């Protein structure tokens, strides 16, 4: 469970990741695209799965996720 500062940080990281994806894809993809892709797998999603899906859209490491596990 997350609370307070942790939840606020997560929201800021997701916002930054969304901006990074939109910039890298010239507006053709977003954080929603990552989530849709992961939901289609029909299985549990790990941090590594999430990071890989984002990296695929960005075509490289996600700066927004640099300080995340």
pLDDT of residue 1: 66
Query: Token digits for 10?
Result: 């997560």
From residue 34, alpha-carbon distances to 1, 10, 19, 21, 54 in Å are: 22, 16, 13, 9, 6
Confidence (pTM)? 0.89
Task: For residue 15, give the nearest of 57, 69, 62 by alpha carbon.
Answer: 62
The residues near 43 (Cβ < 8 Å, ≥ 6 apart) are none
Q: Residue 68 — pLDDT band, cuts 50, 70, 90?
A: confident
pLDDT at 2 over 80: no
pLDDT of residue 48: 95
């Amino acid at each position: 469970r997350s609370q307070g500062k942790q939840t606020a940080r997560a929201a800021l990281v997701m916002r930054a990741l969304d901006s990074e994806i939109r910039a890298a894809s010239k507006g053709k993809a977003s954080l929603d695209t990552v989530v849709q892709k992961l939901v289609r797998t029909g299985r549990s999603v790990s941090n590594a799965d999430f990071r890989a899906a984002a990296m695929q859209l960005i075509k490289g490491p996600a700066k927004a996720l640099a300080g995340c596990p």
